[in-house]
Structure 1
Amino acid sequence: METLLPNTWDGNPNTRRLRLGVSKEQQSEDNEDEGTLEAMRVLLIQPPYDLFDDDPRQAMPPLGLAYIAAVLERSGHEVKIIDCVAEDFDRLTPMPDGRRRHGLDGADLIRAVAAFDPRVVGVSCLFSAQAPAAHQVCAQLKQLDTQIITIMGGAHPSAAPESVLADPFVDYVVLGEGEQTMLELVQALDAGCPLPNDPAGLAWRQDGVVTVRSRGVYWPELDTLPLPARHLLPMARYFEYRAPHGGRVKRHPCTNMITSRGCPARCSFCSIHTVWGRRYRAHSAARVIEEIEHLMTRYDVREIQFEDDNLTLHKTRFVEICQTLIERRIDLTWTTPNGVAMWALDEQMLELMRRAGCHHIALAVESGVPRVLGQIIKKPLDLARVPSLIKACRRLGMGVSVFFVVGFPGETKDEIRQTIDYAINLEADQVNFFTATPYPGTELYRQCVDERLIAMPIDYTTLRVGRPVISTPDWTSDELAELVRAAQARFYRRVLTRRPLHFVSLALNHFVREPVATMRKLRNTFLPRLIEAAPGPEY
């Protein structure tokens, strides 16, 4: 089937667009016969990641793409997924700014694309810092064939569609969760129409003008989604690399799952609502168990990382999942690297989780100062409950990591230090200090732009939780970086003196996986004055 011309559409969603080498009369005849449409060949790409010198490499299945692929396959389309990191995990290409591009890139990626010969290519862009790599992939696709239709999706394009569509190599942006919107767009393109009858959930550019149509309704019943199309992913490679999110793995093979979407909380720094929305939706307990058993049977999986933002929010559902794992004696261990909803946790729930196979949880506390937590971050959390939850985890033999975010506008240096003291005194197995990062689509981003607290135009490559970009009248970004570095070093020194075996275990776990990045991280944390003088590693 011929490829649609990009600039012959009049802007009406009900108007069909000319195809290369086809007369208007012939196209009219073709459009009348909807029964002869061919299956679209759709390629979905997870671009390479750009890493700083002390960033560890990670490789886990891109479940967002796998869900989209499953929905497209179910509708009869031919789909392929290229995860650039998994395809060439050992490739680290030096970049002019000192970072390294991790994964398949350039001519090798384009050869893989050409071999599949897609009509439509969807490019994922989960994080703003990944935007340059995603845009470069789109440029390479258009260099290969200008008639390839390029679509970008993920948290960053969902929050900044106008910015993304300023790139002439990007034809469409899918806003929010992608299954329904991508399917409707592909079906429309296959029928010779540039847009679905209802283009909700899409942004597009016509004659230099960008139109954004947000989707108000999300996929209501998650159980009606097919299982993610993991058969299109190189699962054996993920198991071989052993480089999952968070790194807290007890057994292999290990993989990831998402059992729910949406977060009703309104934390000022979080952009996940731009993808999943704010209404909580979840797979049923029966469907979760079905997917677990599928992973264990087909891929011999023995550990799962639940990537949900709110795994425990629906308490009845979560209890049913745990009880089923226990009653069926399912031989599985699992973790929650993204954190859990602490307002749904108590000692009884933690004990149930432990019996069901959980060996490590992450708690996203964010701040140790009630004023910052309630008035600035706007997170509904009672700090008084946190120490008892951590003690319960330790008593049950569960590891626990705690996340803190500092450096918000309106937060003072003294409050940052209070959070650091609170965090270190919790006696958690791991404490991670991050800096508030103004991702597009967040309240924090709007505040920083309005109050001119970040340099503009914004450099998306700098939007990383460990790289401060905000300066306020109370502190500069450099001062904040030093506060966080010193806090992380203080935590590790405390662990070394109080729990030396645990410190050695932590260090070895990271060093075995990423020796060069681990040494750089240790040096950057404990010996900051040597950073600029020391030579970089050779790759």
Structure 2
Amino acid sequence: MGWPSTGTLAACVRVRSLVAVVRSLLAFAAADRLTSSLDTIFEEEPEMRKTLRKVVLIQPPAFSNNLRTDMNPNAPLGIAYIAATLERDGYEVKMLDAFIEGWDTQTRVSSEKLLVGMPYREIEEFIAAEKPGVVGVTSMFTSQRKNAHQVASIAKRVDPEIQVILGGAHPTAAPESVLPDTNVDVIVLGEGDNVIVRLLQCLERRGPLTAIDGIGYRAADGRPIVQHKTTEIENLDELPFPARHLLPMEKYFAAGVRHGGYCTGAKATSMITSRGCQYRCNFCTAFKVFTRIPRMRSIENVIAEIRELVTKYGVDEIFFEDDQFIAKQRHTEELLDGMAEFKLIFDTPNGVSSWLLTEELITRMKKAGCYRINLAIESGSQDVLKNIINKPVNLAKVPELVQLIRKHGMEAGTFLVVGNIGQDRVETLGQVRESFRFARRIRTRPHVSYLTAYPGSEVLRIAEEKGYLVPDFDWDDLTIVKQQLQTPEWTPEELRQVVEEERIKTQLWYWLTTPKELWATALEYLTRDPLLGLQKLVRFVKAVVSLQTRGLLKPWGSF
């Protein structure tokens, strides 16, 4: 058979289709080599995925204790920032906060644990109805990680072609624990705002992931590959405001609970004005997400977001989730001055650094609407702070700060971490008691946390090296109310007993010396949730009686 005539070729050209011309050539080809060569050319063109322009971002249900007192149904800012970034680039985005959507639904998991949130069956129905090309799941807490993996499994069951991406503090700190799950295609480490669009573009092209900073995935042979984050977002003003319009804001308002306790305002929400913390507390892992480089949003940018919250959503209370809200004092002072016009109330549930707090800042915080300042002192022992935790708190200055806070009509709170361990020493039970005595001396009710050996923390490294982890150590127990450590100085039970004794004594002392606070607290509990308030009151009375019976309540003057 000969080559086609000129007339035949002209007819193909008139079709104006390269594919038609190629097919004509193939039909007249006398050698298999030509056919094979053309087939190879077509196969080398990567197949484009068609549906990655639609993304569903999910906050999973959450485990809680029996009283549901350890839950914070707040708008998930992390994936809200991701959603806004994707929308700006033209992606179609839906968000599902399965936690708040199922706020009134709970399932018994064990004698001590509930699962709160939308049933998994409904999550599956949501994904199936939306038909996304990508499902992103936030996984913030190690103790909640199984819920994120369950959502990943559901997404793949709906459609194995869905690209499942996990992000948040847990996969950032422990990528090697997430990547073995074949339901997860990619994990994002640290800040995802400057990664997500490039990642989706790469996945859509089926391109190599090797050039993308701050992700983890599996190689073709199943090996986990982690490309650690080497860049951060220098100018936070470049980020769009969180996509709160994709969230059920009224449901958060109605819940009336937020990070740090009950809401004081009718419509409270969270926001952040900065990212990063330069300090090196040995228990902290926040730097793995937001780095140790403090970066501040401009005053104008923050004020613009506050204005949106007030005008669009009617917000009257803000709780700032910054790790270091007052990292740069002059900047914070200017921000506080700008906030005054909105007549909001606010506080900082993550606490503020006492060594950065000044009377000028306290004065301006009050004028801007602050009603409570939590001092993140972590310990009432200067030795523990300096030689174990590595935190630059000067306890000698704290009583004066507490007085100044109260002088300006604000509540003063403190944070304590108990059971601290360091490379060369361990907090003693006497030092634990010293922390509570310090809280009683300055008349605060401290928020008390057991030291938690989070993945990626210096504490976990030390505990593994020294053999301080309890025999049944389990990531499911990585919460601030569970003891995960044992040391030559104390057993978990000995630590628990001292903490419970001192906690009750401190609370009793606080209420006896500030009777107005006693009645205010009791009224708040009984008004917001009568059953829970009554349960707490009964537990407290029983604890006091138990201490008295055992002779552990000392005379008034020795408290």
Matches within 5 A, 1:235-246: 235-246=249-260
Q: CA deviation at 1:26?
A: 5.5
- The match for 2:88 is 74
SS in 1 for 2:446: strand
- The match for 2:166 is 152
Q: TM-score, normalised by structure 2?
A: 0.85
Is the contact between residue 53 and residue 520 of structure 1 (CA under 8 Å) also seen in structure 2? no
Matches within 5 A, 1:274-293: 274-293=288-307
- The match for 1:441 is 456
Pick from 443, 446, 468 the counterpart of residue 427 of structure 1.
443
Pick from 232, 235, 238 the counterpart of residue 221 of structure 1.
235
- The match for 2:56 is 43
Matches within 5 A, 1:142-181: 142-181=156-195
Give the total of aligned pairs. Answer: 502
SS in 2 for 1:403: strand
Matches within 5 A, 1:15-94: 28-29=44-45, 40-56=53-69, 57-94=71-108
Structure 1 segments of 4+ aligned residues over 6 angstroms from their partners: 528-531
- The match for 1:489 is 504
Letter in 2 for 1:369: S
Structure 1 residues 406 and 159, CA gap change in structure 2 (3 angstroms): same
- The match for 2:311 is 297
Pick from 153, 172, 179 the counterpart of residue 139 of structure 1.
153
- The match for 1:342 is 354
In structure 2, the gaps of 5 or more residues are 1-38, 547-559
Q: CA deviation at 1:142?
A: 1.9
- The match for 1:382 is 394
Pick from 103, 106, 114 the counterpart of residue 100 of structure 1.
114
Structure 1 residues 507 and 204, CA gap change in structure 2 (3 angstroms): farther
Q: Deviations over 1:103-144 (max 9, x none)?
A: 113101111111111111111111111112111221222222
Does residue 469 of the first structure (1) align with residue 480 of the second (2)?
A: no
Structure 1 residues 37 and 95, CA gap change in structure 2 (3 angstroms): closer
In structure 1, the gaps of 5 or more residues are 1-22, 532-539
- The match for 1:307 is 321
- The match for 2:407 is 395
Structure 1 residues 177 and 488, CA gap change in structure 2 (3 angstroms): same
Does residue 414 of the first structure (1) align with residue 430 of the second (2)?
A: yes
Structure 1 residues 405 and 523, CA gap change in structure 2 (3 angstroms): farther
- The match for 1:202 is 215
SS in 1 for 2:137: strand
Whole-angstrom CA distance in 2 between matches of 1:492 and 1:484: 12
Is the contact between residue 123 and residue 151 of structure 1 (CA under 8 Å) also seen in structure 2? yes
Letter in 1 for 2:478: L
Higher CA-based Rg: 2
Q: CA deviation at 1:509?
A: 2.5
SS in 2 for 1:427: coil
Whole-angstrom CA distance in 1 between matches of 2:363 and 2:304: 23
Q: Deviations over 1:5-29 (max 9, x none)?
A: xxxxxxxxxxxxxxxxxx9866644
Letter in 2 for 1:474: E
Whole-angstrom CA distance in 1 between matches of 2:326 and 2:352: 6
**Most deviating of 516-525 and 417-426:** 516-525
- The match for 2:375 is 363
Q: Deviations over 1:176-212 (max 9, x none)?
A: 11111222211211222252x5222001122221111
Whole-angstrom CA distance in 2 between matches of 1:442 and 1:345: 27
| Higher RCO (CA-CA < 8 Å; seq separation 6+) | 1
SS in 2 for 1:43: strand
- The match for 1:125 is 139
* Paired-residue identity, %: 37
Q: TM-score, normalised by structure 1?
A: 0.88
- The match for 2:34 is none
Structure 1 residues 87 and 449, CA gap change in structure 2 (3 angstroms): same
Is the contact between residue 151 and residue 172 of structure 1 (CA under 8 Å) also seen in structure 2? yes
Q: Deviations over 1:453-504 (max 9, x none)?
A: 1146742110111111111011111222222222221122112322223123
Structure 1 residues 286 and 97, CA gap change in structure 2 (3 angstroms): same
Q: CA deviation at 1:446?
A: 0.6
Q: CA deviation at 1:89?
A: 0.8
Whole-angstrom CA distance in 2 between matches of 1:131 and 1:29: 38
Output the aligned Cα RMSD.
Answer: 2.2
Whole-angstrom CA distance in 2 between matches of 1:262 and 1:521: 37
**Most deviating of 356-365 and 510-519:** 510-519
Whole-angstrom CA distance in 2 between matches of 1:517 and 1:191: 53
